[in-house]
Structure 1
Amino acid sequence: MSGTVRRSAIRGSGSALPEHKVTNAELATRVDTTDEWIVERTGIRARYIAGEGETTSSLATLAARRALDAAGIAAADIDLIILATATPDQTFPASATIVQHNLGCNGGIAFDIAAVCSGFLYALTTADALLRGGNARRALVIGAETFSRILDWEDRTTCVLFGDGAGAMVLEAIDVDPSDVNAPGIIASRLHADGAHNDLLYVDGGPSTTQTVGKLRMKGREVFRHAVVNLAGVLEEVLTEAGVTVEAIDWVVPHQANMRILDATARKLSLPPEKVIVTVDHHANTSAASVPLAYDEAVRDGRIKSGDLVMFEAMGGGFTWGAALARV
Structure 2
Amino acid sequence: MPNSIIIATGSDIPKERIPNSHFLDREFYSPDGQKMEKSNAEIVQTLHNITGIKERRYASDDLTTTDVAYQAAVAALEGLDRESLDYIIVAQNFGDVRAGNLRTDMVPTIASRVKHLLKIKNPYCVAYDIPFGCPGWLQGMIMADYYIRSGDAKRILVIGAEILSRVADPHDIDCMIFADGAGATVVEASDGADGILSHVTRTDAEKNAWMLRLEKTYHPHRKGDELYIKMDGHDIYRYALKTVPLVVKQALEKAGLVLTDVKKLLMHQANAKMDDAILARLFRLYGIKEVPAEIMPMIIHWAGNSSVATIPTMLDLLLRNQIDGHRLSSGDIAVFASVGAGMNINAMVYRMPI
The alignment's TM-score, normalised by the length of structure 1, stands at 0.90
Q: Percent identity?
A: 32
Q: Report the Cα distance in structure 2 between the residues aligned to 1:305 and 1:94, rounded to whole angstroms.
A: 36
Tell me by how many angstroms 1:260 deviates: 1.1
The answer as to 2:12 corresponding to 1:24 is no
8 Å contact 2:161–2:182 — kept in the other structure? Answer: yes
Q: Report the Cα distance in structure 1 between the residues aligned to 2:329 and 2:120, rounded to whole angstroms.
A: 29
Tell me by how many angstroms 1:31 deviates: 5.5
Alignment of 1:273-288 (within 5 A): 273-288=293-308
Partner of 1:179: none
Partner of 2:35: none
Partner of 2:210: 199
Q: Report the Cα distance in structure 1 between the residues aligned to 2:330 and 2:158, rounded to whole angstroms.
A: 19
Q: 1:111 aligns with which of 122, 128, 133?
A: 128
The answer as to 2:312 corresponding to 1:312 is no
Tell me by how many angstroms 1:125 deviates: 0.4
- Provide the aligned length of Structure 1 versus Structure 2: 310
8 Å contact 2:8–2:186 — kept in the other structure? Answer: yes
Q: Report the Cα distance in structure 2 between the residues aligned to 1:307 and 1:36, rounded to whole angstroms.
A: 41
The answer as to 2:71 corresponding to 1:48 is no
- Of stretches 33-42 and 90-99 in structure 1, the one that deviates more from structure 2 is 33-42
Q: Report the Cα distance in structure 1 between the residues aligned to 2:226 and 2:259, rounded to whole angstroms.
A: 41
8 Å contact 1:9–1:172 — kept in the other structure? Answer: yes
Tell me by how many angstroms 1:54 deviates: 1.2
Partner of 1:264: 277
Residues 75-114 of structure 1: per-residue CA shift (max 9 Å, x gap): 2221211000012122322100111111122421110001
Q: 1:139 aligns with which of 136, 149, 156?
A: 156
Alignment of 1:72-221 (within 5 A): 72-89=79-96, 90-106=105-121, 107=123, 108-156=125-173, 158-176=174-192, 183-195=193-205, 196-204=207-215, 214-221=227-234
8 Å contact 2:164–2:180 — kept in the other structure? Answer: yes
Q: Report the Cα distance in structure 1 between the residues aligned to 2:273 and 2:5, rounded to whole angstroms.
A: 32
Tell me by how many angstroms 1:153 deviates: 0.5
Q: Report the Cα distance in structure 2 between the residues aligned to 1:104 and 1:305, rounded to whole angstroms.
A: 34
Q: Secondary structure at the match of 2:7?
A: strand
Indicate the structure with greater helix content.
1
Amino acid across the alignment from 1:22: I
Q: Secondary structure at the match of 2:135?
A: helix
Structure 1 runs not aligned, ≥5 long: 177-182, 206-210
Q: Secondary structure at the match of 2:129?
A: strand
Tell me by how many angstroms 1:41 deviates: 1.4
8 Å contact 1:48–1:164 — kept in the other structure? Answer: yes
8 Å contact 2:53–2:304 — kept in the other structure? Answer: yes
Amino acid across the alignment from 1:198: A
Q: CA 1:6–1:26 in structure 2 vs 1: closer, same or farther (change >3 Å)?
A: same
The alignment's TM-score, normalised by the length of structure 2, stands at 0.84
Structure 2 runs not aligned, ≥5 long: 29-39, 97-104, 217-223, 284-290
8 Å contact 2:10–2:75 — kept in the other structure? Answer: yes
Amino acid across the alignment from 2:110: S
Q: Report the Cα distance in structure 2 between the residues aligned to 1:220 and 1:251, rounded to whole angstroms.
A: 26
